[in-house]
Structure 1
Amino acid sequence: MKEYTLNLNYLFLCGLFIVFPTFSLPFILVEIYNKKRYAFILLAIYMGLCAIYYPPISDLYRHNSDYYHYTKLSFHDLKGELRFDFILYLISYIFAHCNINFEFIRFLFTTLSYILYFNIFLFFAKEDIGIWSNKKYYMLCFSVFFFHIPFFYVCNGMRYGFAVTLLAYGFYLYHFKHRNTSFLFLFLACITHFSVTPIVIVLFLYKFVRIKRIPIIIISIIILILGKYILGVVIISIPFITEDLRDYMMGYLLGTWNGEFLEYGSFLNKLAFYLMFYSIYPLALILILYNKLAEYKLINLLILLLCIVSPFAVIFERSSIAIIPIFLMCMMDVIKMSQKYKLLYVLLACFSITFFSNIYRERVKFAYSDISQMLYKPLPLLLFHEYDLYWMQENINSTGELKYYQ
C-alpha cells in the first residue's frame, strides 16, 4: 500500500509539473523534504526553465549573436574561430545547424548544473547522520546548497558558470569520492572557460606542496599591497602569449573590468555587486580558524590565490565564485567533525544574502523579459520559448544592453 501511495505521488507530481510547473513547486519541496531523488531532478528542470526566460543581455547577448553567426559558417570555418575553451562555441554551432533554439543550451547547462550540485548535497547529507536523521538540519543544508548555486553565472555568463559547476563536481569526485572520472570533469571545466585553470592546477598540486601558515600570511600581505604591479609585470614579460591576449588580460587588470565599471550606477548596485560573492569571507575565516581539516593546505593555497587577484575586481569576483563551492564542501567536513550544526544557519544567512543580491542586480533584466509566462504555460510550451533575432534588434543595443535602460 505504501509503495502504491509513493507511485501515486510520483505520477501526480510529474503530471502537475508538465501542466503547471510553477504551481508544482510546493509539492516538489515537500518531496525533497521526504528525500525523494526525483524531486531534485524536477527542481533542476524548473531552474533550467527559468534560465530559458533570462533575456539575452550582456555576455548572453554576445553568445546569442555567435549562435546566429554560426548558422552561416561551415565546420571548416568554425575551426578557424575556435580557441582553447571551445565547448560552448562548438555546442552553439551544432545547435544552430540543427535548428535548435539557443535557449535550449541555457536550459541544458542550468539543469545539469543543478543536478550535479544536488548530487553533491545528497552525498554530504547522507554522510553526516546528524543531518540525514534530522529533518530541520537536512532542509537547512539543502537550502544552503540551493542558495549557493551561481544561477545567474550559469544562465547569463554560461561559459564561466558552467565551468565552475564542472570544477566543483570534479573536486567532489577527486577529493571525496576518489574517482578517476574527476579528471574528465576538471578537464572539461578548463576547456569550458580557461580562467578556472589556475584553480585546477592548485587542486592537483596542493598535496605535494609543504605549506606553513606564517609564510603564507606574510606572502599574502605582500601580494595584497603589490599584487596589481606584480601581475602586470608578469603578464607583460610572458614571451609566448599574443599581443591580443596580452591586451585582453591587461583589460581585466588595469582597464574597465578592473573596477572602472563600478564607478557608474547607484550605491545599492555597487553594494549588490560585492554582496554577490562576499560569502567567501566568512567561509575563509571559519576554515582558517578550524585547523584540523585534511584540506588545510588546499585552503591556504586558495586563500593565497584570492590574495593575488584581490586588487582586480572582476578576477576576484570570478575566482571567489569558483572557490566558494570548494570551501562549502570543506565546511561540510568541519560541521561533520565538530557537530556544530548551528553553522548551517550562518551559511544560510551568507548564501541567502548572496542569492538575493544577484536578484537585485538582475531585476531590470527580468522586468523586460517574458518570465511571467512561467505562471501559466505548460512545460512543452516553456521549453520552446525563444528570444529571436527580431526581439534582440528591437530591445538590445550593439553593446548588449537594454535600449530602454542605459
Structure 2
Amino acid sequence: MNKNIKLYAYRSFFLFIISPFLSLPFIFIDIYNRKKGALLCLALFMGILTYLLLPDWSLDLARYYQSYELIKEYSFEEFKNYLSLRSDYVYYFLFFIFSRVGVKFQILLFCLSTFNFYILFYIYNKVAVQCSISNKEYFKKFILYLFSIAILYYLSATRNSLACSFFLLFAYNYYFLNRKKRGIILLITAIITHISFLVYVPIMLIISLIKNKKGLIISSLLIFFLFSVIPVERFLNVFIGILPGFTQKAFIYLAEDRIGHWTLVLSHYLIILLGLIFLISFYKKLDIRFLTLLTSLILAVILVFPFGFITYDRYTFAFKPVLVLGLVICSSNIVDLHSKRILYLIEKTALFSFLLYFTYSFYLYRYNIMPYFSFENMFLLNILSTEYTLQDIFFL
C-alpha cells in the first residue's frame, strides 16, 4: 500500500488559500496519491467556481439571486406564507437562515456547491477504496467519474443539484451500507428539497419486488426503443379516461420545447444504451442491491425520456455517476478477457459521451464563466472581495 495514502494534502490546501487556480494541478497530484483532504480541496475549488459564476436569465441561478434578495426582507410569518406556496422547502429555508445572519448570497452558493461536490467525491472514494484498486486505476476512474457529473449544472448550485446530493447519500447508505433508516431520512430530505425525486420511490419499490432482473433490463431496452420511435402522445391517449390529472400534466410538459442540442441528445442516447449494455453484460456479477439501484435509475430516465430534454436531462444526474461506480466495482473483480474488453469499450464510449456533454455545456455557458479567466481572480482574497448584484445579471 502506498504510504502517501496516510498523508494529508497540506500543500494543496495552503496553495488553495493563496490561489485556488494555481493549486489545481497539485490537488490532482494529491488525488492520484490519495492524500487525505485532496478531494475536499477539489470540492472547495468547485465552490469557488460557483462563487465566481455570473448567471444570466437562462440559468435558474439568476432567479435565485432575485429570490434571495426578496426573502432577505421577509419576516418569519411572511416567509412561512412564501414557503406554503412551494413544495421544495429545504433550499428556500437555507435562503432564509443565511439572509437573516447577513451572509451574502455568493457565500451560501459556495457552501452549497462545496457540499454537493464533496458528497459526490466522498461516495466515489468510499466505493473505490472498498474495491482495493491501484492509484493509477483510482485516478483514471475518478476522471471518468468527474466528467460523469453535469459539472456546469452543478456549479449553478440549484435545488435539483442539492436534492441529488441527498439522493446519492440515500443510495450509498441504503444500497451500499444497508443503513435503511438513515437512507430513508436522506430520501425524504431529497424529496422535500426537490419534489421531482419522488419519481424514484415507486420505481425502486416495484423493481425490488421483481425477481427476474434480466427480463426487466431487456424490457427497459425495448421501452427505450419504443419511446424513441413512437410519439408518446399515443401512449398517453390510452390513459385520458383513467388518469385525467396525470395525462393533463403530461401534455403540459409535452407542449414545452422538448428538443436539446444534438450533442446533448446524442450524449444521452449513448449513455442510456451503454447503461443497458452494462446491465445486460454484468448483471450476474453485481450485488443485487446495487443492481436494483442502477436499474431503478436508468428506468427513471427511460420513462421520462419522451417528455423531452429538459425533463430527462435532470434524471441523468444521479444515473451517470452511479453507472461509473458500477464500472469501478466490476473492473476490480472481473478476470476473463472477454468481459474486460466489453468493460473497456463501455468506459471509453462513456468518456466520449461525458466529454460531448461537457464540451457543449462549456460553450453554452462561455459568457457566464468569463470571470474564471480574469487575472484579478487568480488570488483567493481578490475572489472573496468580488460581489455580484442583480444589476450585474441584468446587464450580462
Verify same fold: TM over 0.5: yes
Identity of aligned residues (%): 24
Partner of 1:63: 64
Partner of 2:372: 371
Please tell me whether residue 167 in structure 1 is matched to residue 161 in structure 2: no
Residue 101 to residue 296, structure 1, CA distance change in 2 (3 Å): same
Partner of 1:308: 303
Q: 2: CA distance between counterparts of 1:153 and 1:236?
A: 38
Which runs of structure 2 are paired with 1:321-360 in the superposition (5 Å)? 321-339=317-335, 343=343, 346-347=346-347, 350-351=350-351, 353-355=353-355, 357-360=357-360
Q: 2: CA distance between counterparts of 1:237 and 1:143?
A: 47
Instruction: Look up the SS of the partner of 2:366 in the other structure.
Output: helix
Instruction: Look up the SS of the partner of 2:74 in the other structure.
Output: coil
Q: CA deviation at 1:276?
A: 6.1
Residue 220 to residue 77, structure 1, CA distance change in 2 (3 Å): same
Please tell me whether residue 124 in structure 1 is matched to residue 127 in structure 2: yes
Contact 1:150 1:161 in 2 (8 A): no
Contact 2:267 2:353 in 1 (8 A): yes
Contact 1:116 1:169 in 2 (8 A): yes
Partner of 1:255: 255
Tell me which stretches of 4 or more aligned residues in structure 1 moved more than 6 Å: none
Once the two structures are superposed, residues 53-112 of structure 1 have per-residue CA deviations (whole angstroms, 9 ceiling, x without a partner) of 222222111111111121222221222222221222121222233332222232122211
Which runs of structure 2 are paired with 1:182-261 in the superposition (5 Å)? 182-211=183-212, 213-214=214-215, 217=219, 220=223, 224=227, 225=230, 227-231=232-236, 250-252=251-253, 254-259=254-259
Which runs of structure 2 are paired with 1:286-297 in the superposition (5 Å)? 286-292=278-284, 293=286, 294=288, 295-297=290-292
Please tell me whether residue 140 in structure 1 is matched to residue 140 in structure 2: yes
Residue 221 to residue 137, structure 1, CA distance change in 2 (3 Å): closer
TM-score (norm 2): 0.82
Instruction: Look up the SS of the partner of 2:88 in the other structure.
Output: coil
Once the two structures are superposed, residues 275-329 of structure 1 have per-residue CA deviations (whole angstroms, 9 ceiling, x without a partner) of 2674232122111222303244554454443332221222222222232233333
Residue 28 to residue 157, structure 1, CA distance change in 2 (3 Å): closer
Which runs of structure 2 are paired with 1:61-140 in the superposition (5 Å)? 61-82=62-83, 83-129=86-132, 131=133, 134-140=134-140
Once the two structures are superposed, residues 330-379 of structure 1 have per-residue CA deviations (whole angstroms, 9 ceiling, x without a partner) of 33333233246663674355245424533433435333542224775422
Residue correspondences, number: 376
| AA aligned opposite 1:102 | F
Partner of 1:270: 262
Partner of 2:51: 52
| AA aligned opposite 2:98 | F
Q: CA deviation at 1:137?
A: 1.1
Contact 1:109 1:155 in 2 (8 A): no
Structure 2 unmatched runs, 5+: none
Residue 30 to residue 120, structure 1, CA distance change in 2 (3 Å): same
Structure 1 unmatched runs, 5+: 263-268, 396-406
TM-score (norm 1): 0.80
Partner of 2:21: 22
Instruction: Look up the SS of the partner of 1:279 in the other structure.
Output: helix
Instruction: Look up the SS of the partner of 2:73 in the other structure.
Output: coil
Q: 1: CA distance between counterparts of 2:241 and 2:89?
A: 25
Instruction: Look up the SS of the partner of 2:156 in the other structure.
Output: helix
